[in-house]
Amino acid sequence: MSDYLHIQNIHKDFSGLKVLTGVDFKVREKERHAVIGPNGAGKTTLFNIISGKFKPSSGAILLRGEDISGKPADVLNRHGLSRSFQITNVFQELSVFDNILTGVRSRHGLRYHFFRKPAMNRVLTEKTEAILEKVGLADVKDQPASSLSYGQQRALEIGITLSTEPELILLDEPTAGMTREETEHAIKMIDQVTAGLTLIIIEHDMDVVFSLADTISVLHYGTILVCDAPDKIRCDQRVKDAYLGEG
């Protein structure tokens, strides 16, 4: 059986600065894969490459055997890949509903239409409502995004990520900056909304990682130190060294 996603020997340097030096790991379909690592290990750069923001300097990304590396973000999204951002990246002046609708209508091909208004289509509004329900924002759907609390903004961030009905989701530190309580709530929500999807998540919070992930890859100095089940990672000496050495 071929792997669903194979990150194959990815290198990236920014005008001489080597950020990734041969990242290589595989993700099975419907797996929940966490990428952890100390600050500056290159996690976000890796995400930017997988999601099409940057081109890798070398290496390949095989999605169902097809190399998708270097394809632009909008093409990848239409291939079923969607990502969230570490720093909340929503349309601040738009209502919560319209934020989600923007992704939903894209998924349904209503991107560049000259005559049709997006909000008048029943299928789209129903799908939007469904996503709002899932991420717990149905009550505030008519408010502008800018009026939401931090936790709600993070939920909206995930809602937008889901709005294009992806099968592969990349979440970049979804619980960053949250209180303990909010984090627990967010884990539950992420667990529910990504059921049946393939998930790659970057996280600092080890509780989040260990409660969500099936597999963990440890990124250290631009390369994968180890990739294994959470239990194994917990007692891996190299991982301890990497984190302790950093701290």
- For residues 198 and 33, give the distance between their C-alpha atoms in angstroms, rounded to a whole number: 8
Tokens representing 219 are 């990124």
Helix (H, G, I), strand (E, B) or coil at 152: helix
- For residues 46 and 20, give the distance between their C-alpha atoms in angstroms, rounded to a whole number: 8
CB-nearer residue toward another protein: 8 or 164: 164
- Residue 76 C-beta: closest distance to another protein, Å: 8
Longest dimension (CA), the chain: 61
Helix (H, G, I), strand (E, B) or coil at 32: strand
CB-nearer residue toward another protein: 115 or 237: 115
- Residue 234 C-beta: closest distance to another protein, Å: 33
CB-nearer residue toward another protein: 23 or 90: 90
Burial of 66 (0-12, 13-18, 19+ CB in 10 A): exposed
Interface with another protein by CB under 8 A: which residues? 51-53, 72-74, 77-78, 82-83, 85, 89-95, 98, 102-103, 105-107, 110-118, 160, 163-164
Q: Which residue has the tokens 């999601």?
A: 51
- Residue 11 C-beta: closest distance to another protein, Å: 19
- Residue 112 C-beta: closest distance to another protein, Å: 5
CB-nearer residue toward another protein: 116 or 232: 116
CB-nearer residue toward another protein: 97 or 233: 97
Tokens representing 187 are 């884990």
- Residue 126 C-beta: closest distance to another protein, Å: 17
Q: In what order do the strands lie in the sheet with 17-27?
A: 17-27, 5-14, 58-63, 66-67
